[in-house]
Amino acid sequence: MLKVESLSKSFGGQQILHDISLELQDGETTVILGPSGSGKSTLLRCLNLLETPEAGALTIESDTVRFGGKLTDESVRTMRRHSAMVFQQFNLFPHYTALQNVALAPQLNGKLSKAAAEQQARELLTKVGLEHRMDAYPDHLSGGQQQRVAIARALAISPDYLLFDEPTSALDPELEAEVIRVLVDLARENRSLVVVTHNMAFAQKVADRIVFLAGGRVSYNGTPAGFFSSDDTRIRKFLNVYELIEYKI
């Protein structure tokens, strides 16, 4: 379970997230939607403590951290063990092969020997359809392939929650499709996923829960069916933009 209680976050005196409370169940796929600047990335980064909220609390599984003072390194380490983040821009190590990228973290954190980490990396790269590209460097991989390596790397630390910040928005449509395929597989395996995306088909068909942020507040938290049929003005305005984009092409 991932629980956020009354979380607030400001940058330079400007409050970005206001009193966010959420409870996500294990095995669920949650899609976070909202207009640009509504705080989606900031919220995701708070879940992984890449940002430190000023107030509130975060619980993942049996560990809780309360915000308000300086966090100890130990509590940051403890909380980070529970989740792994996949970024829009992949962020692979350029001087490491796909295999080395995926095998690195479990060795650094002492969980696996080199041989075991490499064996796991081979299995994970096979799972994301890259068994033929294990020894390639990121520069020699397409964006879709790089993002699949990044997903395998996130899986390698066996996180409870996988966090994705617009994992496909740097990709052409056909490369987006191959990354979405991997996300759908993970969702069907009942992994716990939190995905910020503009892919409305994924949100509508794959998510168990939609969280809609507007102005740094949760303005919808419920089923995709409820979201996509909502007559709330802000939600309709948001969805209309996507309909316009589709019709324009």
Ligand X SMILES: Nc1ncnc2c1ncn2[C@@H]1O[C@H](COP(=O)(O)OP(=O)(O)OP(=O)(O)O)[C@@H](O)[C@H]1O
- Contact set with ligand X (CB under 6 A): 11-12, 16, 34, 36-42
Cβ-based neighbours of 49, under 8 Å, separated by 6 or more = 58, 65, 71, 76, 79, 80
- Alpha-carbon gap, residue 164 to 153, rounded angstroms: 13
The H or E element spanning position 67 is: strand 63-67
The answer to whether 48 contacts Mg ion (rule: CB under 5 A) is no
- Minimum CB distance to ligand X, residue 158 (Å): 27
- Minimum CB distance to Mg ion, residue 195 (Å): 12
Nearer CB in complex with ligand X: 34/53: 34
- Minimum CB distance to ligand X, residue 89 (Å): 12
> Candidates 37-45, 133-141, 207-215, 223-231 — which segment interacts with Mg ion by CB under 5 A?
37-45
222's contact among Mg ion, ligand X, none, with CB below 5 to 8 A by partner kind, is none
Neighbours of 50 (CB within 10 A): 15
Cβ-based neighbours of 214, under 8 Å, separated by 6 or more = 34, 35, 38, 234, 238
- Alpha-carbon gap, residue 104 to 118, rounded angstroms: 9
Nearer CB in complex with ligand X: 118/165: 165
34's contact among ligand X, Mg ion, none, with CB below 5 to 8 A by partner kind, is ligand X
The answer to whether 42 contacts Mg ion (rule: CB under 5 A) is no
- Alpha-carbon gap, residue 58 to 82, rounded angstroms: 12
* Edge-to-edge strands, sheet with 14-24: 14-24, 2-11, 55-60, 63-67
> Candidates 12-20, 41-49, 112-120, 217-225 — which segment interacts with Mg ion by CB under 5 A?
41-49
> Candidates 35-43, 173-181, 221-229, 240-248 — which segment interacts with Mg ion by CB under 5 A?
35-43
Interaction site with Mg ion (CB under 5 A) = 41
